[in-house]
Amino acid sequence: MDDAESQNPFPAAPPEAPKTPSSGLALLLQLWGLRAMPPAVGPSTVLLVCLAFLSLLLWLTIDWLAALPDPQFLAAGVPLLAWYALAILAMAVLLRWRSRPRPAFEAALMLSLGLAPVPMLLAAVAAPYLNPLWLLAASVAILVYSYLYLARGLRALTGGRQRVAAVAGLAFLIGFVWITDALEVIPDVWAAPEVEETVAGNDAHADAEALMFEQSARIDQALAAVHVDASPVPKGFFLGFAGVGDQKVFAQEIGLASRVLSERYGMDGRSLSLINDERDLERAPLASVSGLRYALRGLAGRMNLDRDVLFLAISSHGARDPAIAVANSDLPLDELTDEDLAAALRDSSIRWRVIVISACYAGGFIDALKDPRTIIITAAAADRTSFGCSNDSDLTYFGEAFYRDALPEARTLREAFEKAKAAIAMRERHEHVDASRPQAYFGSELEAKLAAMKDHPL
């Protein structure tokens, strides 16, 4: 032993062995926890297949849970899964293209598949339970997480910083979510059974001829209570129309519309409602096409047609024709078409009209009714259904969002409509149903008139 070794009792440590690259699965497990990663090797084919299968299984489970208690399989939703498969492949291509040096395509595909469950869980699990502010905070947190996941994963696969590629991947994710939401590409393969919205008779036996004959007298009696004011200030008059009597939701919605609009526009004593409600055939004039014409002419006789405004609220089932369903017990009633409504308003000579139609396909009424002195708000587009029209609901989705939630606090009808439209869209996304897409037309002259009337209460 030489002198140097005898004077140093601690032998030199052996050189550190190079770190063994982690497997694809180990890399993902560390990435999901945003932990520091050693270099990684590419994934196996088995791992890629398993990740794809787990992503598919996760979506099917979320979709199935949303359709409880009686989920039904919808084969028509299966082809839409290809949209998401193509998005995962496109992100992998983008990540590989923007990285320097480039990872193998299989490695980039592994990162894309590993990130897929994150926005999926946010949209389907967290979003339904968060208010808009918390949802925004959660979305920002998901974006930060996604950037760190991509940046660290690409560095482990390539050995270099890949900030540009990570930002590109993040931009792709944001764009994909936005386009998917705009196009409503939701691959619903499970859905709750649709509620049959048919109009059926019941055991109530009404003398149809006598009942229909007395409706004009009932409307006259209701009109006699309408207050006539000779002051020069414009006034508002309310007319409600609940079209279908075997579901209480329509009568209840017109009752709410009457209260909210009357309070907002000071129409106490200037309202009339035509109500089909099989629970009580006596409490109000019945809703019918002929009754609507008669009521409009009666209100016109109590209005100053040059300045006063009619607020007409309709709630019922709808059809693509377009038409509003009108039914009550076993009475022989005709449906209300767009031509019927346009003719009734034209015959009444009422010039200033706010018309709110809560029904499926109600957007089909807009073209027949619009003019600069008319505002038309509908619960659905001309080719879309609306929701909540069943006996287990107190209000339709539109009635809740517009009359109950938005209108009391909004400064204008336009603002109330936009708030209601956004709330309905969010609810329908959470429930995985086809969007109703509420529509509106705002006549410029009537909008200006209503704005001026704010300074002179009705």
Amino acid 212: pLDDT: 78
Averaged confidence pLDDT in the chain: 84
Does 354 lie in the same domain as 234?
Answer: yes
Instruction: Give the C-alpha separation, 436 to 424, whole Å.
Output: 8
Task: Please tell me whether residues 235 and 377 are part of one structural domain.
Answer: yes
What is residue 178's predicted lDDT score, i.e. its pLDDT?
83
Shared domain for 175 and 277, answered yes or no, is: no
- Looking at the fold, whether 185 and 251 belong to one and the same domain comes out as no
Residues 134 and 282 in one domain: no
pLDDT exceeds 50 at position 196: no
| Beta bridge partner(s), residue 201 | none
Q: Global pTM?
A: 0.61
Predicted confidence at residue 51, as pLDDT, reads 86
Higher pLDDT, 227 or 436: 436
What pLDDT score does 129 carry? 63
Please indicate, yes or no, whether residues 172 and 253 belong to a single structural domain of this protein: no
Question: Would strands 336-337 and 323-324 be described as parallel, antiparallel, or unpaired?
Answer: antiparallel
Q: Tens digit of pLDDT for each residue in 335-358?
A: 999 999 999 999 999 999 999 999
With respect to residue 18, please indicate whether it lies within any of the assigned structural domains: no
| Within-domain flag for 11 | no
Yes or no: say if 223 and 256 are a contact pair by the CB < 8 Å rule.
no
442 part of a folded domain? yes
420 and 406 in contact (C-beta within 8 Å)? yes
**What percent of the chain shows pLDDT beyond 70?**
86
Question: Of the residues 162, 191, 220, which one is the last residue of a structural domain?
Answer: 191
Residue with tokens 């526009």: 265
Q: Which two tokens stand for residue 29?
A: 């497990």
Q: Name the residue with higher pLDDT: 145 or 458.
A: 145
CA dihedral sign of residues 189, 378, 242, 457: positive
Complete DSSP assignment for 32-78: HTT-----BPPPPHHHHHHHHHHHHHHHHHHHHHHTTTS-EE-GGGG
pLDDT for 396 equals: 94
Q: Which two tokens stand for residue 153?
A: 């994963």
Band of pLDDT at residue 451, cut at 50, 70 and 90: confident
Same-domain status, 419 and 278: yes
Q: Using the predicted structure, report yes or no on whether residue 458 has a pLDDT greater than 50.
A: no
Rounded (10°) angle between helices 132-158 and 105-115: 160
Residue 14: inside a domain:
no
| Residue ranges of E strands in 229-331 | 236-242, 271-275, 309-315, 318-319, 323-324
Residue 201's pLDDT band (cuts 50, 70, 90): very low
Same domain, 379 and 427: yes
Instruction: Tell me the Ramachandran region of residue 431: left when phi exceeds 0, alpha when psi lies from -120 to 50, beta otherwise.
Output: alpha
Report pLDDT digits (tens) over 151-182.
888 888 888 888 999 999 999 988 888 888 77
- CA 224, chain centre distance (Å): 41
34-48, 257-271, 431-445: least confident range: 34-48
Whether residues 238 and 294 share a domain: the answer is yes
Q: 131 versus 258: which is more confidently predicted?
A: 258
pLDDT of residue 157: 85
For residue 51, give its domain range.
Answer: 24-191
In terms of domains, do 113 and 55 share one?
yes
Q: Which of 101-110, 201-210, 243-252 has the lowest mean pLDDT?
A: 201-210
Provide the domain count of the chain.
2
Q: What is the CATH number of the domain that holds 306?
A: 3.40.50.1460
Residue 238 lies in a domain: yes
Whether the predicted pLDDT of 99 surpasses 50: yes
pLDDT tens by residue, 419-428: 999 999 999 9
Residue 202: inside a domain: no
Q: Per-residue confidence at 412, pLDDT binned at 50, 70, 90?
A: very high
Q: How confident is the model at residue 252 (pLDDT cuts 50, 70, 90)?
A: very high
Q: Is there a single domain that holds both residue 231 and residue 309?
A: yes
Residue 309's φ and ψ, nearest 5 degrees, are: -120, 130
In a domain, 458, yes or no: no
Q: Is the model's pLDDT at 97 over the cut of 90? A: yes
Tokens 């949303």 correspond to 66
Question: Using one digit for the tens of pLDDT, what is the confidence trace for 381-411?
Answer: 999 999 988 777 889 999 999 999 999 999 9
- Residue 269 lies inside a defined structural domain of this protein: yes
Q: Please say if the pLDDT value at position 44 is more than 90.
A: no
pLDDT digits (tens, 9 = 90+) for 306-324: 999 999 999 999 999 899 9
Q: Which of the four pLDDT bands, split at 50, 70 and 90, describes residue 76?
A: confident
Q: What is the pLDDT of residue 206?
A: 42
Taking 60 as the threshold, does the pLDDT of residue 8 lie above it? no
Same domain, 177 and 225: no
Mean pLDDT of 10-16: 50
Domain boundary among 145, 160, 191: 191
